[in-house]
Structure 1
Amino acid sequence: MFEAVIFDMDGLLIDSEPFWRTAEKEVFGSLGIQVRDDLAVQTSRMTTREVTEYWYNYKPWKQRGLHEVEQEVIDRVGELIDHKGTMMPGVIELIQYFKKLGCKIGLATNSPYCLVPKVLKKLEIEEYFDSTISADFVEKPKPYPDIYLKTALELDVRAAKCIVFEDSKSGISAALAAGMRVVAVPESGKFYDQGFDIADIKIRKLNDFCDKHMKMLNLAG
């Protein structure tokens, strides 16, 4: 019997992935960098610090410090969340499903922690979460297991008793490395990408998850 469920944030709870691309193109573009889509794919699962360092190494600038530029990206994403943020399908239904089962609810994200309360408030789901952890609180972000292990510790639940919902390969790898069961929810265009097949279960959207999948996870455990 599982005791906790842990959710990723960007692209899983909130449709915010386009916001990061917009913010990076605007901020790094102001520094004379053309954020090419093929390179942006490589940075999409990095932390904001790693992304900033990536583009600095790609084409160094002198106008502003790295921390200042990183914060500009974060602030711009925060503005877009406030004005345009929308909930992904099935979020409320799935959270309530696990609440009825008596599970604790956690959040584990590579995003800066300052965006976590902003997202939860925007989606009006703050009261559901028992723990929220970001890459700010661990030494190594996803794909390392640190974030998920710390979330389990905060929830006071053994890793083997946690189910994780993830939309990225790096997040799936992190949760599996932590010893948790993982449900992959890839974005629509990547559903058949075999890289997501390492997860225990793969579904198209959150509200596809049902008792059948719980039974599968329990049997796998």
Structure 2
Amino acid sequence: MRKQLRAAIFDMDGLMVDTERVARMGWKHAFRQFGIDLTDEEYLQFLGISTADVSAMITERFGGRVRFEDVYAVRQQHTHQFYEENGVPLKPGIVELLSFLESAGVERVVATSSTEEMARFRLQKAGLLEWFSFISSSDRVLRGKPAPDVYLTAIDWCGLQADECVALEDSEVGVRAAHAAGLRVIWVPDLAVPSEEAVGLAVHVAADLFDALQWIESWMAPTQQIGQTDPQVS
């Protein structure tokens, strides 16, 4: 029996705010300061994972040429300056989706690989912070995505079961994390092309957040009786 949708759990970077392109620019700039040309393929490995995991990856890959602390400091300064000067760009459809969920009485929380301080800064700059009641961040858990910890923390805070919630993600590691937490996942790909294997973990692969909104509206439609099948998985 399908339960009522009571909470939506959102990833942040690349899903709600168009920050992955800014982050890519920042990482490339930072590595160039140390004589390293970071490729797009190398950057894509950073998507969706915690700062601690990025640190381990950079140390393993570039440890003999640059310290993570040094390149990260340059990257942070570069991206922070961009956000201060330009704001944090929104992904199309996010305000419409959040407005619909609020009007429907659906709780809205965040599950992010960023720290809470960073998440609050970006959401505030983007004008989205007030839409959310809780942020499950990487500094609240022991394991980052693709482990399910940030999602399990969000579900627990809501006081709900996983089948009363839906997760929205843009990265494969995030989709794997949400799926491992027992959640239905709507995948809205950003920079990386979804792998064929991981597509099966999502109930819907959306073209954008407007498409995700349509799927949720269909799922919540009052004409669909409890016990009927969910909208077609795609």
SS of 1:107's partner is: strand
Counterpart AA for 2:174: G
CA contact (8 A) 1:31 1:61 kept: no
CA contact (8 A) 1:78 1:115 kept: no
Could you tell me how far 1:75 is from its partner in structure 2? 3.7
1:79 aligns with 2:85: no
Could you tell me how far 1:48 is from its partner in structure 2? 2.4
* Distance in 1 of aligned mates of 2:199 and 2:163: 20
* Distance in 2 of aligned mates of 1:52 and 1:44: 13
1:98 aligns with 2:80: no
Regions of 4+ moved over 6 Å: none
Question: Which of 43, 48, 57 matches 2:46?
Answer: 43
% of aligned pairs identical?
Answer: 28
* Distance in 2 of aligned mates of 1:49 and 1:21: 17
Counterpart of 1:178 in structure 2 is 181
Counterpart AA for 2:128: I
* Distance in 1 of aligned mates of 2:162 and 2:26: 35
SS of 2:45's partner is: helix
Q: 1:51 to 1:135 in 2, by over 3 A?
A: same
Ranges in structure 1 where 5+ consecutive residues have no aligned partner: none
Aligned pairs for 1:108-187 (under 5 A) are 108-187=111-190
* Distance in 1 of aligned mates of 2:147 and 2:206: 23
Aligned-residue Cα RMSD (Å) equals 2.4
Question: Which of 3, 7, 28 matches 2:31?
Answer: 28
Question: Which of 44, 61, 84 matches 1:58?
Answer: 61
* Distance in 2 of aligned mates of 1:71 and 1:147: 25
Q: 1:47 to 1:71 in 2, by over 3 A?
A: farther
Q: 1:78 to 1:122 in 2, by over 3 A?
A: same
SS of 1:190's partner is: coil
Could you tell me how far 1:108 is from its partner in structure 2? 0.7
TM-score (norm 2): 0.82
Could you tell me how far 1:45 is from its partner in structure 2? 3.0
Q: 1:207 to 1:138 in 2, by over 3 A?
A: same
* Distance in 1 of aligned mates of 2:175 and 2:185: 7
**1:100-121 deviation per Cα after TM superposition (whole angstroms, max 9, x unaligned):** 1111110111123222112211
Counterpart AA for 2:184: R
Could you tell me how far 1:160 is from its partner in structure 2? 2.1
SS of 1:183's partner is: strand
* Distance in 2 of aligned mates of 1:3 and 1:71: 39
Greater helix proportion? 1
* Distance in 2 of aligned mates of 1:159 and 1:197: 18
CA contact (8 A) 2:114 2:138 kept: yes
CA contact (8 A) 1:143 1:171 kept: yes
Counterpart of 1:212 in structure 2 is 218
